[in-house]
Amino acid sequence: MRDFYGTTLANGLMLGTAQYPSPAILADAFARSTASVATVSLRRESGRNRGGQDFWKLVQGLGVHILPNTAGCHSVKEAVTTAHMAREVFDTKWIKLEVIGEEDTLQPDVFGLVEAARILSEDGFQVFPYTTEDLVVADKLLQAGCEVLMPWGAPIGSGLGLNNLFGLRAMRAHFPDVPLVIDAGLGLPSQAAQAMEMGFDAVLLNTAVAKAGDPAAMAAAFAMAVSAGQLAHTADPMEPRDMAAPSTPVIGKAFLE
């Protein structure tokens, strides 16, 4: 596994903590997933009146790295303020940075994202920016201090998978040494496997597991898919062909006259 700000993860599965039917199901899903990272929204926690302390204890008990996020923030000021609060509450430099620019698709506001990333990086945060697959934006995020990029696969919660294969492959090829995480839009384990086969370092998902009929079983399925995709990528898979190629050698074959 590639390092994320100096931290080597046990595997490439990052899992959200929202929308589960119950805390027990959330804990079971994480156990089955063997996920290495849990994303947590500040809205699930309160540093002043100790609201949400049971949830925080549950998350701490998962034994994974915590990645707070700025979910739902629509401006630079809101995202930066939320990030500072999250660092105080969760005691981590990691922050998944979201600056939403469009309501229907929840597409990132890439201009605000770059500005917020620069502010937070200069303030000592280790920023995981939720972005698009745009190469120019990606380069500006790296210049702003980010060492990880998290391009979307599809709109958050849509389950559409990897909408722009060309763009995602181009990003992987353009930034070979940067940790890349597919964030948002995955609905099936096969889509996670596809991302890992393409050489991405991790996938982050929430709805596909939390809203499944059996979240724990779906979490286990994603765990196997991520592992299979990563193994397939490292095995150096064959390139696609335009023409057929016989799998059985013809040398030594008997010919009848």
Catalytic residue check, 96: yes
Direct distance between the N- and C-terminal alpha carbons of the chain, in angstroms, rounded to an integer: 57
Please indicate if the annotation marks 72 as binding a ligand: no
Q: Which residue out of 77, 93, 96, 140 is catalytically annotated? A: 96
Please indicate if the annotation marks 173 as binding a ligand: no
Please indicate if the annotation marks 207 as binding a ligand: yes
Please indicate if the annotation marks 206 as binding a ligand: yes
Please indicate if the annotation marks 217 as binding a ligand: no
d(CA 14, CA 128): 12
Which residues carry a binding-site annotation for 1-deoxy-D-xylulose 5-phosphate?
157, 184-185, 206-207
| Binding site as annotated, residues | 157, 184-185, 206-207
Q: Hey, which residues are catalytic here?
A: 96
